[in-house]
Amino acid sequence: MKHKNSFLKVVICASCLLQIFVIPIPVQDQINKAINSVLTKPVYNIQEAEEGPATEDETRIEEDLELEEMFAPKHEQENEEAYQEEEEASSSKEERLPIYLTFDDGPSASTEELLDILKEYGAKATFFMLEPNIRKNPEMVARSFEEGHALGCHSVSHRVNVFYQSTDNMLWEMAVTSQAVEEIVGVGAPLVRVPYGSVPYMSNEQKEIFAEEGFNLWDWNVDSMDWRYKGEGYVNHTIEQIEALRSNNLNPVVLLHDLKTTVEYIPQLLEYLDEHGYECLPLNSEMAEVQFKSTY
């Protein structure tokens, strides 16, 4: 009742003040009628609910307040849980370890299946391709590029006695291979891997010439030996090397081949990588290359 009494006092004081100032009687009559209307109109307050039956408006207000108290905490909890899930997902993604799967000698009859599997696992890879195979399978080159994989050159001849016969021939084979890629996807392929690795075939001077010509020369630090351990054996051999590099805080660059037996068991390797916090990424020209150390 405290708020109601205060309100009435204000109205009564206003009525008294009207008597002090000189106001025409007709106007005073209209103002008095308005004041009397206010004085006779009920004033509701939620605090008066205990003093008498609640009105329809009071009941509605109380119900609204109850609903607000009932649902607001739930909404806040749901929002907080959603926020935590987003934070955990973001944190998990940030903490994943990079790994670089590279496939040599393609494209081949197995490339389409390989691309399907990589897509299923959300994995990106790098393909070091042979120029004749690029010409034979342009659709696989285009698809690899469109799906975010990196494209690289692996020579024309893939024969030691032909490719390494001179520095000029080495550069020519890579340039021709890059041109074949560009004709299909619109850009060349500066990433290169020489047949059987740079050591013992390339000198430090030749590596410098490759860099001057705009080629990024890549070897590897994990050899799957998938050409020897056909089947599940290459997966275990690869995992052992990956874990050894992990203990030394080194990012694995894995040598694989575009072979049917490799593709058949690649899901096992991808499962392991996913379960152990790895993210398969493509190589790029901005990265520091992994190269074998030449002795001359």
| C-alpha dihedral (27, 31, 37, 42), degrees to nearest 10 | 170
Confidence of residue 36 (pLDDT cuts 50, 70, 90): low
Tokens 């944190």, residue located: 91
Summarised one tens digit per residue, pLDDT across range 194-207 is 999 999 999 999 99
* High-pLDDT (> 70) share of the chain, %: 68
237 is catalytic: no
Tell me whether residue 111 is in a domain: yes
**Residue with more model confidence, 33 or 158:** 158
Tell me whether residue 292 is in a domain: no
Do 183 and 68 sit in the same domain of this protein?
A: no
Do 178 and 65 sit in the same domain of this protein?
A: no
Go through the chain and tell me how many residues it has. 296
Do 8 and 118 sit in the same domain of this protein?
A: no
Do 23 and 128 sit in the same domain of this protein?
A: no
Catalytic residue among 3, 104, 258, 274: 104
Sign of the Cα pseudo-torsion (167, 169, 175, 178, in order): negative
Q: What residues make up the domain containing 78?
A: 2-91
Q: What is the mean pLDDT of residues 226-255?
A: 95
Count of alpha carbons within 13 angstroms of residue 158, beta-carbon side: 12
257 is catalytic: yes
Summarised one tens digit per residue, pLDDT across range 80-107 is 555 555 555 444 456 899 999 999 999 9
Q: How many domains does the chain have?
A: 2
The percent of the chain in helix, strand and coil, each rounded to the nearest 5, is: 55, 10, 30
Catalytic residue among 149, 154, 158, 257: 257
Name the residue among 108, 186, 105 with its Cα closest to residue 152.
105
Q: Specify the range with the lowest mean pLDDT, choosing from 28-32, 116-120, 159-163, 169-173.
A: 28-32
Tell me whether residue 257 is in a domain: yes
Do 64 and 159 sit in the same domain of this protein?
A: no
